[in-house]
Amino acid sequence: MTNTINRQIVLAARPVGAPKESDFDMVEGAMPTPGDGEMLCRTLYLSLDPYMRGRISDAKSYAAPVQIGSVMVGGTVSEVVESNIGGFSPGDIAVTGNGWQEYALSDGKGVRKLDPGIAPISTGVGVLGMPGFTAYVGLLDHGRPKPGETVVVSAASGAVGAVVGQIAKLQGCRAVGIAGAPEKCAYVTEELGFDACVSHRDDNLAEALAAACPNGIDVYFENVGGAVFEAVLPLLNPFSRIPVCGLISQYNATELPPGPNMLPMLMRQVLTRKVAIRGFIQSDHLERMPDFINEMPGWIKDGRIKYREDIVDGLENAVPAFQGLLEGRNFGKLLVRVAPDPTA
Amino acid sequence: MTNTINRQIVLAARPVGAPKESDFDMVEGAMPTPGDGEMLCRTLYLSLDPYMRGRISDAKSYAAPVQIGSVMVGGTVSEVVESNIGGFSPGDIAVTGNGWQEYALSDGKGVRKLDPGIAPISTGVGVLGMPGFTAYVGLLDHGRPKPGETVVVSAASGAVGAVVGQIAKLQGCRAVGIAGAPEKCAYVTEELGFDACVSHRDDNLAEALAAACPNGIDVYFENVGGAVFEAVLPLLNPFSRIPVCGLISQYNATELPPGPNMLPMLMRQVLTRKVAIRGFIQSDHLERMPDFINEMPGWIKDGRIKYREDIVDGLENAVPAFQGLLEGRNFGKLLVRVAPDPTA
């Protein structure tokens, strides 16, 4: 251990609207020393995810917010540097929750070791980690797709959406994506094998989506909210299901949008088409994690599930990368490479 | 059979906004004659229900609309006058779907005979019929109330809402009603035994509802929509359930209300509190009817479920009664007594 400094990004202020650089601070903490039953982990990859916007707001949500001055939370892939825990040895690679910092201690609870032989270790916080599991449990358990049904997913080129559509195809469904940039739409159909993808930048989104869903929508996997959701409403089939995973278009909003008020329209559709809407978080479904861990690596190995990563180098670039994520500037699962990947 | 005339109310025009008298016509049809496998039924009670507003609109819904010139649909309690069907004899009392007319033929399908010894036969289209069953299956199967939870129901003094709150009490829940007139609110707490009832006419509905629900809302049984639903949103607990049964405040609307757009607010609550919303119609759950028929008469006999009827005399008064229903002017289950009740 030659390095004695641990760079960390802490929350400096609660963002109002889009997070600013000044809402975060880079600080230099002391390198922690593991005690009995602890290990020191070095962050290799930091996962940047939309949910983090909620964690730095003090609005009531499913988790307590990050406090001002505290290290930003986040999933990480780490290398064990020193270990006083049985079962963990220096050089082990594991999925940890280090947050936005170079080093952290862990007691090993909730830590999952990774086998670099199965897939690149960065996937431990991507397609083989939280975002992949979110897609898996959200689509299968809440969306309950049946062969021949139409599954629509927004943020379709993103870490969750890309997996949702590909699992929908594996279930024998028509998969339709909604994405932004033309190259993302092309990727979704040409690389990921979705049947269609429409752009939310299209002035005629509603018409384009209707054309892509000639038999209506049976499952809408919601990652976006706002105008995209409104375009989905008229197309909902009887007994359609809407797993609500995220609402990224709304996270930076500081006030409700102007009218008309679309809430009565939604409720009318819910009533007359007997729609089921369900907000969910993957951590409420950890009993399904073993099934995911059994199934997903095979799908990836067989090329049935593809993934794309958008890797930014250096912890000092985490904040601009996160800002870009909230504006859809990333293309694929967004990661920060905090230290060189020893397995690459 | 001395009478040879069958008075009928037919749809004359599709209502725009609140239905007008001129949207309906009273016509005199010929008395029908039952053929083989048919019976002639005389309407005793006609049920008037909010769903009928949807059936006279041509907006896409769960049932085809009533055509212009056709007899208005509706549940009825009838007396068999002549029968060419085994198992049905003159004098039998049965729940039928005669619609808004004095006589109709039936082939006996879907017809349920009533025992006048169990309860007044009018309840066959009320607490012991479709509205009661709607409350039963919607609350128990979609609301899934657990002892100690708070169940809120709108239109709480109505045919469905009154039963919802009382079943909630039987399940060990706190039952909170939302109603309009002060006498309805008093009835809901004093007669029906709800723990609290707030008025949607209260300028401080949101505050009053919050005060009535100190532990938040676990089940909201939706009959009303609009501003009432918006008052419920902030109070939703994690994993709360919203069975959507009706939206009576919205049925006469001809356009969406002005902003702000509350849809993003709903979706935020759905996401962060993992809310389940489900539109339903009792006819999709007929497999539960035997359970209802087993349980409900006992609850009524024991005085554990009370009910109130608002009976209007004469088919010629059906239209104004229906207009009043859509404005909340009825007090209890609304019925038209089309002919004298031979069992009363």
* Structural domain containing residue A177: 130-282
Residues B230 and B317 in one domain: no
- Burial per residue of B152-172, b for 16 or more beta-carbon CB atoms within 10 angstroms, e otherwise: bbbbbbbbbbbbbbbbbbebe
For residues B144 and B30, which has the higher predicted lDDT (pLDDT)?
B144
**CATH code (residue A228):** 3.40.50.720
Which residues of chain A from 23 to 42 reach within 8 Å of chain B, CB to CB? none
Q: How far is CA B167 from CA A135, B130, B140, B275, in A?
A: 37, 15, 9, 22
Please list every residue in chain B whose beta carbon sits closer than 8 Å to the beta carbon of residue A278. 270, 274-277
Residues B157 and B29 in one domain: no
Dist CA B67 CA B10 (whole Å): 9
Which two three-digit tokens encode residue B281? Answer: 């119609």
**CATH code (residue A73):** 3.90.180.10
A vs B, Cβ pairs < 8 A, gives 145
Q: How many other CB atoms sit within 10 Å of the CB of residue B132?
A: 28
Measure CB to CB from residue B263 to each of A262, A274, A284 and give the nearest one. A262
Give the minimum alpha-carbon distance from B161 to chain A in angstroms, rounded to a whole number. 16
Residue B316: inside a domain? yes
Please list every residue in chain B whose beta carbon sits closer than 8 Å to the beta carbon of residue A257. 259-261, 264
Cβ pair A279:B260 closer than 8 A? no
Nearest Cα neighbor of B294 from B128, B160, B130 is: B128
Cβ pair A277:B272 closer than 8 A? no
Residue for token pair 């709108």: B154
Residue B47: inside a domain? yes
- pLDDT, one tens digit per residue, over B213-268 is 999 999 999 999 999 999 999 999 999 999 999 999 999 999 999 999 999 999 99
Whether this model's ipTM surpasses 0.90 comes out as yes
Dist CA B242 CA B143 (whole Å): 6
In the chain, the amino acid numbered A338 is V
Measure CB to CB from residue A257 to each of B60, B260, B281 and give the nearest one. B260
pLDDT for residue A61: 75
Cα separation of the two ends of chain B: 22
Cβ pair B273:A279 closer than 8 A? yes
Residue B287: inside a domain? no
Average pLDDT over residues A31-41: 96
Give yes or no for a contact between A249 and A226, defined as CB atoms under 8 angstroms apart.
yes
- pLDDT, one tens digit per residue, over B289-322 is 999 999 999 999 999 999 999 999 999 999 999 9
pLDDT for residue B2: 55
Residue for token pair 């059994």: A294
Confidence of residue B155 (pLDDT cuts 50, 70, 90): very high
Residue B241: inside a domain? yes
pLDDT for residue B64: 84
Residue B46: inside a domain? yes
Give yes or no for a contact between A104 and A50, defined as CB atoms under 8 angstroms apart.
no
Please list every residue in chain B whose beta carbon sits closer than 8 Å to the beta carbon of residue A271. 244-247, 279
Residue B295: inside a domain? no
Chain A interface test: which of B261, B265, B273, B285 (most A C-beta within 10 Å): B261
Cβ pair B267:A278 closer than 8 A? no
Give yes or no for a contact between A163 and A243, defined as CB atoms under 8 angstroms apart.
no
Q: Is the pLDDT of residue A2 over 60?
A: no
- Burial per residue of A222-246, b for 16 or more beta-carbon CB atoms within 10 angstroms, e otherwise: bbbbbebbbbbbebbbeebbbbbbb
Please list every residue in chain A whose beta carbon sits closer than 8 Å to the beta carbon of residue B220. none
Cβ pair B279:A258 closer than 8 A? no
Confidence of residue A59 (pLDDT cuts 50, 70, 90): confident
- pLDDT, one tens digit per residue, over A243-263 is 999 999 999 999 999 999 999
- Whether the CB of A62 is below 8 Å from some CB of chain B: the reply is yes
Nearest-10 Cα torsion for B132, B135, B141, B143 = -170
Number of domains chain B contains: 2
What are residue B151's DSSP bridge partners?
Answer: B175, B219
Residue A78: inside a domain? yes
Q: Is the pLDDT of residue A60 over 90?
A: no
Dist CA A240 CA A202 (whole Å): 25
Q: Is the pLDDT of residue B151 over 80?
A: yes
Average pLDDT over residues B127-147: 98
Residues B17 and B61 in one domain: yes
Dist CA B331 CA A198 (whole Å): 50
Residues A196 and A248 in one domain: yes
pTM score: 0.96
- Whether the CB of A266 is below 8 Å from some CB of chain B: the reply is yes
Q: Is the pLDDT of residue B341 over 70?
A: yes
Dist CA A272 CA B55 (whole Å): 11
Residues B134 and B233 in one domain: yes
pLDDT for residue B61: 76
Residue A38: inside a domain? yes
Average pLDDT over residues B114-134: 97
Measure CB to CB from residue A272 to each of B62, B238, B256 and give the nearest one. B62
